[in-house]
Amino acid sequence: MATRGYFAYRYKRRYYRQYIPHGAYPEYWGNKLAQLVPRDPHKREAWIHATTVMLEKAELKDAEREEDEYEIDTEGLFNSIIDSDWTFLDNDIDIDWTYVIDLDNNAFTVDGSTHFKLDDMPPESIGLEFFFEDEYPGRVLQVNTRSQPQLSRHLTTVVDLWPGPLFDVDKAQEEYETLNPTILPYSKWKLPTWSTLSVSQKFAMKRLQIVLDKYSHILDKGYLIHDSRFLGCICWQITCASTHVLPICPTRDSLSYSNSLTLMGFKDFERGHFARVLQPEPTPYGWNPDSFCYREYLRIAGCMVAYCPILDQPAFVASEVRQMVDNIRNSKGPLNGTGIILSGRHALVVRVEMNESGLRVCHSPVMDIYDCEGRVSEGALLLVHFLQRDPSLHRTHDQSFPLPPEIMTQIVRYADFGTYLCLTLVSWSVRAICLAYPRIGEYTVISQDLRHKEGSTLIVQHSATSFTYPAIVKAKTNRVALGPYCMTWDIKKE
């Protein structure tokens, strides 16, 4: 079977592509295309200029037509392509290799993810095949960048594929400035500190760290994430980890896990600020890479939530803030509202208020969700703060409720497991108490013992006694699914 591929020039954010019907492996067409780039600096500059002139005058084929299956001509007809999805191998099972001479980023790109510097290409005596190990499943870069610095110097990661050619940077900035927004610093949002997190928020941080441990290495290369649904799935998991859920760990003879999940909030219908999206895979995953439009805005815990590919460029921040403001103002909810914009690596919050003096828009700076070591950061505090707000801030308590909160708290603590599950659905007031005191089997979590050596040590109370004592949550026996992740637990007395 022929080794097929694609070759393209990238110029002014547009791909000029041709089909390689055979011989697309690095030893043949890979080396021939790499050798198009002169190694001499003066000749290279002249070649780049001549190539840009050629592309500006190039005759383009209909992008909807299939590429012709004949020998490619690097100065012949091109298909004009906007998106970069095709450069990644998993996008087309019939394509084995892709090569791009990227004149925008001054790079020679192989398979969408390995970038050679145009101004420091490998010498022609070293073929591209030396850099790759063509073994399936998956093709990996064979060069160890630490042990072989003389070869790794030819590689770069400074490649920016954003924005797309249809994204109007000037228009996005103008529309943003018409809002006259105020950027409030981190300290003005009254976010919790690491020492003031509630028990429920600490559980959320644990869950969020689980998601980041699994996906942060992927999010680090956000500019390479060409599958919007995949990035959207990661954002959805980060959202699930940050929201109000009851971390209920059932006993062995308790209700089924599926019934327990209902009480954890994953199947709540029309429950105001605790509303959940029913589908395990909702559909805010896709977007137009040039406008970031045409995706759903979710309402979770009273906030409008939107996902986007990146938030590390001012033009995209401006575009996202403006779209969030429009969605809050056009929604059927209150005129005032809060929105959260999440890219997986970064997050920011937008606040919209309408009063006598008109529209007031403020938003936070872009905050990192995790640091350089993959640990939760200030952006995670922002998420758990706004997605775990006390419902009493948004809804008045039922004045006819016969029991004071102190007595109801004692009832929640001493209730058996089945009763505890039912109590979460009684009222907003009771549910808030349940959220404050999560249940692990027959034990109620009262607080976390910060003095103990192990950070996972909790102060728990057995439902049949009034005694509290420290316990260590160990990953040993039972398992409960919390959204996209699993927690295992076992209570061991000290």
pTM reported for the whole predicted model: 0.63
Domain extents for the chain? 5-156, 169-247+270-393, 405-493
Rounded distance between C-alpha atoms, residue 145 and residue 413, angstroms: 56
The alpha carbon of 266 is separated from its chain's Cα centroid by a whole number of angstroms, namely 20
Instruction: Give the neighbor-by-neighbor strand order of the sheet with 457-462.
Output: 439-440, 443-448, 457-462, 468-482, 485-493
pLDDT value at 53 more than 60 = yes
Min mean pLDDT across 13-22, 346-355, 383-392, 480-489 is at 480-489
Q: Which H or E element spans position 324?
A: helix 314-330
Find where tokens 């910060």 sit. 450
What are 7-24's pLDDT values in tens digits? 999 998 889 999 998 888
Express as a percent the part of the chain with pLDDT over 70.
65
Q: Are 241 and 266 in contact (CB under 8 A)?
A: no
Nearest to 381 by CA among 339, 343, 349, 337: 349
User: Is the backbone peptide bond immediately before 438 cis, with ω within 30 degrees of 0?
Assistant: no
pLDDT higher at 471 or 328: 328
Q: Which of 137-146, 284-293, 348-357, 484-493 has the highest mean pLDDT?
A: 348-357
Q: Sorting pLDDT into bands at 50, 70 and 90, what band is 279?
A: very low
